[in-house]
Every structure is written in structure tokens, then in C-alpha cells.
Amino acid sequence: MRILVVDDSALYRKLLTEAASSLPEAEAVAVSSGEFALRRLEAEKFDLVLLDLFMEGMNGAEVLEKIKASYPKLPVVMVSGATGRDAEITMGCLAKGAIEFIAKPNGASFEEGMETLKADIRKAASLARLLRTTAAPPSPVPAAPAQPVAFKRLQPPPFPDLLLVGVSTGGPLALSKITPLLSTKIPVPILLVQHMPAGFTKSLAEQLDKSSELAIKEAAEGDLPLPGEILIAPGGFHMEVHRNEAGKFRIHLTSAPPVHSCRPSVDVLFDSAGKCDLRGAIAVILTGMGSDGADGVASLKAACPTWCIAQDAATSTVYGMPQAVAQRDLHDEILPLQEIGPRINKIFRL
């Protein structure tokens, strides 16, 4: 795997190159500007680009735009800090085609920071390799259902109480296309888990809120979800939903161990919703690596009437999470991304 490192800081070029070169069978090449990166891409073939967000001259967002225009299938991973400005621009890059982002090292020690950086680049390289080498969608090994699904529904439940969404890799791009299409008259709260570390989900919520007529915000402990409002699980915390003494939905955040190596986890949210004595639920599983969400959908279907929509392979950045649902026959519909928003509105007769 050939990795192009683009960063105008000599220190970070060195750190990123060293971390990338530590991967088996990987060769890292470093350049100091977006202009040099574009010239290098014209002359040589690369399998992955690690692209700094802020650079002199052409910044990371501008370089990303040019790379995606000329090399649409070349995976680009943004290298970003966790400050408010960095996070906001990073979310914009993910919505414009970057497949993932890596946070710059901020560990308690140099060694800790480098180990984290190597692990993050290893994950990015695995994703790039997956996208490069699989003509067909990846096939995660399906797990045994947590609880057997008794039957397939013929139509969505008439009175769902919650709309639940799970998404991972490619999520910001997918959500930027779905949320503007959702009706403001959706009569139930919308709870959403996007796999993302702390410091970035707030910016994701703010960017989605700007492009949607729905109210979208990062969830906080004790929030009472409102109809037509989207609450996004904060990075680094599991989000659960419970009923309070008055019977209203209430958000609870926990620092319990990761599930499927994820915190927040889709399964945790869906499992908690299944214990809320719902009249029904709508579950949506979008693009993402792994199988998080499949156990949760099974739990929901065992607990209450649940209609599950899974994104199709053709429009998924990575067809992992939706495929895990489909392989266990937990889906009720498989739809392309552009049809999911209108279908949700139709389910709620809007």
C-alpha cells in the first residue's frame, strides 16, 4: 500500500510518515503542500492520502475537492485536531467525500501519542484496502441473533414512538443527504448514533442543523427528546433512552465499555429503546464498517413492532452494518440512500 502524507508541518510530516511506514507492506511518501500533492498524484499511483486540514496556500478542504474531482475512488483521510474550528471543517470534509479522519496526537506522552496514531492509520489503511480490493461489498460473518425474530411484518407499525438511526463510516455524507429531506412534522423523536470520537459530534450536529429544517443537536444527559428533533449521541459516550416517572423519554449517557469497539454504540441505544414499552419503532441502519446495530435491531423486533430500513450496497461507502442486518434477515426494506428520507416521511404519512 502506497500512502501519500500531505502536511506543511515538518514535525507532523515526520510523525505521520513514521507511523504509516510502520504498517506491514506500506510505503509512505510525504509532501509539504497541496500543490505538491496534486503533482505527485499526477505522476504516481497511491492507495491512500493522509491530508492535513490546515496548510499554507491550498488548505486541506480545497485539496480534497480537487482530489475527489480527479480521482473519485482514491480514499482520503483528513488529519485534524479536536478544536472547535478543526472539528467543524473536518465534518465538512467528511460530507464532501473524505472517508475518515485521524485526530492529531494528544496523548499524555510521545509514546502514547504515536501508538494511537499508528492504530488510527492502521484502521484507515484497512478501510482503504477494503475499498480498493473488494469489487463486491465486504461480507462480515453474521452473528447468531440475540433473540429469534418471530415473523416478518407486512407494513410498518401504525403508531411508532421512536425513529432510531445507526451509522458509521461515510455517515456525515449520508446524513447530509438524508436530513434535509425529512419532514419537520415527524411526530416522534429521532435518536441517532454516529460512530465518532469525542469533540466532533457537536460540530456534526451543528452542520446538519444548518442544512435541515429539523432541530438537530448533540444529546446531553437528561435531555427530554421532542418530536421532530434529532439528538446525536456525543462522541465517547453511549446514549440510552429511558422512560421517566411521567412516562416521557429521557436521555442517559454512560461511559460503559465500548461495544463492537464503539462508544457510542448503535446496539446500546437500540437495546435501551426496546425496554421502553414502545407501541412501535422505526430503525434505520446506514453505511458503516462492522456489524454494530444488528443485535440492537433483533432486540427491538423481539420487544415491539419494528420496521427496519437498511441502506443498499451501491450507495453505502462501506456495506458492513447494513449487510449485517440483511444477512440476519432483520431488514424490512433495503433502499438506496436517496430514497430513505422520502420513505421515512411516507411511513409517518407525511
Q: What pLDDT shows up at residue 267?
A: 98
Cα 5 vs. chain centroid, distance in angstroms? 23
Burial class (CB in 10 A: 0-12, 13-18, 19+), 43: exposed
Residues of the chain with CATH 3.40.50.180: 162-347
Domain 162-347 has CATH 3.10.450.50: no
Q: H helices within the chain, ranges in order? A: 10-21, 34-43, 60-70, 84-94, 110-133, 171-178, 201-211, 266-273, 294-303, 321-327, 337-347
Query: Cα–Cα–Cα angle for 267, 271, 273, nearest 5°?
Result: 120
260-311 residue pLDDT tens: 999 999 999 999 999 999 999 999 999 999 999 999 999 999 999 999 999 9
Q: Which three cell numbers stand for residue 168?
A: 458509521
Q: What pLDDT shows up at residue 86?
A: 75
Q: What pLDDT shows up at residue 136?
A: 42
Residues of the chain with CATH 3.40.50.2300: 2-133
Q: What pLDDT shows up at residue 243?
A: 96
Size of the chain in residues: 350
Q: Mind telling me the catalytic residues?
A: 168, 195, 292
CA distance linking residue 101 with residue 97, whole number of Å: 11
For residue 230, what are the β-bridge partners?
A: 190, 216
Half-sphere exposure of 189 (CA within 13 A, CB side): 18
CA distance linking residue 263 with residue 254, whole number of Å: 9
CA distance linking residue 307 with residue 67, whole number of Å: 39
Q: Which helix (H) or strand (E) holds 307?
A: strand 306-311
Q: What pLDDT shows up at residue 151?
A: 56
Residue numbers in the chain where pLDDT is lower than 50: 135-148, 150
User: CATH top-level class for 2-133?
Assistant: alpha beta
- What's the whole-model pTM score? 0.84
